[in-house]
Amino acid sequence: MAFPDCVPVLTDGVVRLRPHAEPDIERIVEQCRDPMSLRWTQVPRNYTAAMAKEWLTGIAADWDSDGDRLWAIEAVDDADGRFLGSIDLRPRGAGRAEVGYGLHPEGRGRGLMRRALALLCQHWFDTGGIRMDWYSEAGNFASWAVAQRAGFEFIAKLPEHIANGEGQLVDTWFASIGRDDAAEPRTAWVTPPVLAGDGVRLRPWRDSDVEAAEETDHPAHFVPAGAIPSPDNWDAWLGRRRLVMSRGTSINWCIADAVTDRALGEVLVFVHGGTLAEQDTAELGYYVYPSARGRGVAGTAARLAVEHAFASPDQGGLGLRRLLAETAADNTASTRVLTTLGFTRWGHEKGAVAPDGSIGPADHWERYAS
């Protein structure tokens, strides 16, 4: 059969994947001119209706020649069948395919793309496919959230792997799902709960917190390079924090002033292997900006984080059995925080490798849930 009759219509009763059609052109143009589409996709700039018509011609030709396969997305409960986005299947041979997708602004925030992706993956696997791969420019958390919820496993960040809409090579996230994998999240996407006490509030980091970022004056052997945000490394730093939380390996709070809400530093609980949900032991970390020192901020923030780490899941906590920490032996401020919180020094190294590569003494700390 020729296009559009050759396009299988896929639906789960909420979302429908159907052939593209000429009535979609106006909304295709709207989507392609949308700032989010321009930011995260390779859509041509200054998109026109003529470009959309040419694209539809190409879609039909691909279907007729067994090339890439593109579907339009619509909501089942929309009697007008308005175009809400596109999703495409790109066979790459040997049972492997790649997926790409994008939504019209009116289709966002409704869970439609997750459903569309699940439908497409199931169709691919039901027709003999073995694996589906996903790529996106690093930092595209909206696209990653869709893939993550559909069961894709994050594999790697690939340096300068794809070109963005401006034709520049950019770092790329790569994830994949196999035919026998469950179509559900591999790990819980961590969202830091708001915790408050003694003039401090722990909350998720915000883009606007860059306004409070300060240059650090920590000794280089105290903290790994790049671990503390500054005005110069802000975007990369915040992206790394959000990525590890999306993969369930860390919970990172902004320490904020309870009155002004200004960012004062960070406290985090993290694991080096597996996820927080799988482990009963994690590591505690913290720092405060130079202007916030001497006010007990680190101690209060660390106490709130420890209480949350040891609280049972029924109480909204992590349900951990044990917390660890590591400090340079001459980091007296951190030692004071840990001893006040009831941590015990269980080990001492005379020649530990410090974050800056130097060799020096370090202390290891632990605390158990009571």
Q: Where are the domains of the chain?
A: 10-178, 195-368
* CB contact set of 305 (below 8 Å; sequence gap of 6+): 195, 202, 253, 267, 268, 269, 284, 286
Cα separation values, 143 from 12, 131, 295, 299, 339, Å: 21, 19, 41, 37, 43
Predicted confidence (pLDDT) per residue in 151-162, tens digit: 999 999 999 999
* Structure-token match 């994830």, residue found: 175
Per-residue pLDDT, 228: 86
Listed residue (43, 92, 90, 99) closest to 69, CA to CA: 90
* Contact present, 257 and 231 (Cβ < 8 Å): no
Give pTM, 2 decimals.
0.92
Helix (H, G, I), strand (E, B) or coil at 208: helix
CATH class of 195-368: alpha beta
- For residues 129 and 97, the answer to whether their CB atoms sit within 8 Å is yes
Domain at 10-178: CATH code: 3.40.630.30
Residues 190-238 pLDDT 10s: 999 999 999 999 999 999 999 999 988 888 899 887 888 888 899 999 9
The residues, ordered by sequence, that sit 6+ positions from 236 with a Cβ below 8 Å of its Cβ are: 226
pLDDT value of residue 227: 87
Going by their DSSP bridges, the two strands 281-288 and 322-328 should be labelled as parallel
pLDDT value of position 355: 85
Query: What whole-number distance in Å separates Cα of residue 342 and Cα of residue 320?
Result: 16
What H or E segment, with its residue span, contains residue 163? strand 153-163
Question: Which residues 6+ apart lie within 8 Å of 48 measured at CB?
Answer: 29
What are the beta bridge partners of residue 267? 253, 286
Same fold, 10-178 and 195-368: yes
Question: Phi then psi for 40, rounded to 5 degrees?
Answer: -115, 0
Which stretch of DSSP H or E encloses residue 115?
A: helix 112-126
The confidence score (pLDDT) of residue 106 equals 97
| Per-residue confidence (pLDDT) for residue 215, from 0 to 100 | 86
pLDDT of amino acid 127: 96
Share of the chain above pLDDT 70, in %: 100
Quote the pLDDT of residue 14.
98
> Which one, of 102, 84, 113, 108, lies nearest residue 20 by Cα?
84
What is the structure's pLDDT at 359? 95
Please report the pLDDT score of residue 7 as a whole number: 97
C-alpha span between 132 and 114 (Å, rounded): 14
pLDDT in tens, the chain (370 residues): 899 999 999 999 999 999 999 999 999 999 999 999 999 999 999 999 999 999 999 999 999 998 899 999 999 999 999 999 999 999 999 999 999 999 999 999 999 999 999 999 999 999 999 999 999 999 999 999 999 999 999 999 999 999 998 999 999 999 999 999 999 999 999 999 999 999 999 999 999 999 999 988 888 899 887 888 888 899 999 999 999 999 999 999 999 999 999 999 999 999 999 999 999 999 999 999 999 999 999 999 999 999 999 999 999 999 999 999 999 999 999 999 999 999 999 999 999 998 888 999 999 999 999 8
Residue bearing tokens 């410090």? 354
